[in-house]
Structures are given as C-alpha cells and as structure tokens.
Amino acid sequence: DIQMTQSPSSLSASVGDRVTITCRASQGITSDLGWYQQKPGKAPKRLIYAASTLQSGVPSRFSGSGSGTEFTLTISSLHPEDFSTYYCLQYNTYPCSFGQGTKLESK
Amino acid sequence: EVQLLESGGGLVQPGGSLRLSCAASGFTFSGYDMTWVRQAPGKGLEWVSGISGSGDRTYYADSVKGRFTISRDNSKNTLYLQINSLRAEDTAVYYCAFPPESSFDYWGQGTLVTVSS
C-alpha cells in the first residue's frame, strides 16, 4: 500500500503569510493527488486535484504542484478563513490513502 | 443540485453490525464511482472503500477488508456500506463522496457510528 507522509503536522502563521504544505508518497503516484481543507464539524472540501488543478470555485491563492512522489500545496497569502486543517490524498493505487493532516493555526 | 444524504449510523455494541446508506440525487448516479471516507473523533481522514458505477468493482482499506462490504442499488440511487464485526476503532463519522479521481467534489454531511458497550 502507498503511504502518504504529510508535513508539517501543525503550522502557525499570520494573515498575509505565504504557506507551503508538503506530501511525500512512498512510491510514485504520477499526478494522482488531491488536497483537501476541512473545518471542524464539516465535510472536507477539495481544493486541488490532479496535483495542480484548482477545483472550481476555489480561490486562486491556493495552488498545487509536484508529481511522482513529492507534492506541495501553497497558499500565497493567508486569509482569515484559511486557518483550518489540510489533507493530501493519493488515488493512483487502491487503497487510496490520506496524509496525516496539517493544522494551520493563527500565530 | 447534487445531494448526498447518509443515514444508518448509531450506537452499536462491539461485534455488532450496521448498514449505512447514502441517498444520492441531482446527478446520474449509475454513471459515477462512489467512495466512503471516515473520520474518528479528533483524528484524520481515512479512505474506507470505493465502488464502480456499475457495482462490479469494489475496493477496501486493509483496516476494513473482510468486515465491510460496499454496494449500490442504481435503481434506488443509493450507496451502501455494510459494516460487520464492529470494533471500538470503527467509531467515526462516515462520509459518502464522489471518488477522488472525479473532477467533481461532493460529500454528504456524514453519519456517526459509535461502537461501545
């Protein structure tokens, strides 16, 4: 099975900061990766799929990059509503697998 | 409007069983693979199971293989997850969702399964 290692597990930042979250796959997954945002008590919301394709309706300050085994989610300038938990998900090979999550908190 | 509405969660004793349902509307249900994802209290997301649009292909996480069965009734636009031999670690909110390879991103509101004596 493919393991997804996400880092950091937590991150403190301020409004306006540029933030980067990384996921590493235990084997190559081409570009079969999504990034999700989840707020407490809510279902996840996908931000990025196919590693770099912005989901419809998601602000352009979110971007994704990478292929193979290394992937990044970047928020170019943090907005107050971006403080949340983020997950990556590989869907190249069943079973699909999520990263452990990154909790983004306000500094 | 696409809607996914889960039901069937509740309190069950260890070793017990439940069948979760996900009623779908607003799209051609049989044309889409579907997925179950769960989240234990205070923990991260875990992909649980997936099924093809026709129901002929199913996939499971190792943690549930042999105990959980995913199925669908395309005539009723409903996705199911039969969960047997429940353990405390199966306590979670269970979400049905479009599969991650889809360009669409829709999730239900989730249904809580609590395994406790």
pLDDT tens digit sequence for A56-101: 999 999 999 999 999 999 999 999 999 999 999 999 999 999 999 9
- Binned at pLDDT 50, 70 and 90, residue B111 comes out as very high
- Binned at pLDDT 50, 70 and 90, residue A29 comes out as very high
- Binned at pLDDT 50, 70 and 90, residue A22 comes out as very high
Chain A residues with CB under 8 Å of B108 CB are 43
pLDDT of B67 reads 97
pLDDT of B68 reads 98
pLDDT of A6 reads 98
Q: What is the mean pLDDT of chain A?
A: 97
Asked whether residue B37 carries a pLDDT value surpassing 90, the answer given is: yes
Asked whether residue B112 carries a pLDDT value surpassing 90, the answer given is: yes
Average pLDDT score over residue span B80-88 = 97
What residue type is A78 in one-letter code?
L
- Contact of B8 with B17, CB cutoff 8 Å: no
Among A31, A37, A46, most B C-beta atoms within 10 A, so best to mutate, is A46
Query: What backbone torsions phi and psi does residue A18 show, to the nearest 5 degrees?
Result: -95, 130
Q: How far is A64 from A103, CA to CA, in rounded Å?
A: 17
B5 at the A interface (CB within 8 A)? no
List CB contacts of B99: < 8 A, sequence separation 6 or more. Answer: A91, B32, B33, B34, B35, B50
pLDDT of A68 reads 97
pLDDT of B103 reads 85
pLDDT of A81 reads 97
Average pLDDT score over residue span A51-55 = 97
- Binned at pLDDT 50, 70 and 90, residue A10 comes out as very high
- Binned at pLDDT 50, 70 and 90, residue B64 comes out as very high
Chain A residues with CB under 8 Å of B70 CB are none
Q: How far is A17 from B10, CA to CA, in rounded Å?
A: 42
Q: Is A49 in contact with B97 (Cβ distance < 8 A)?
A: no
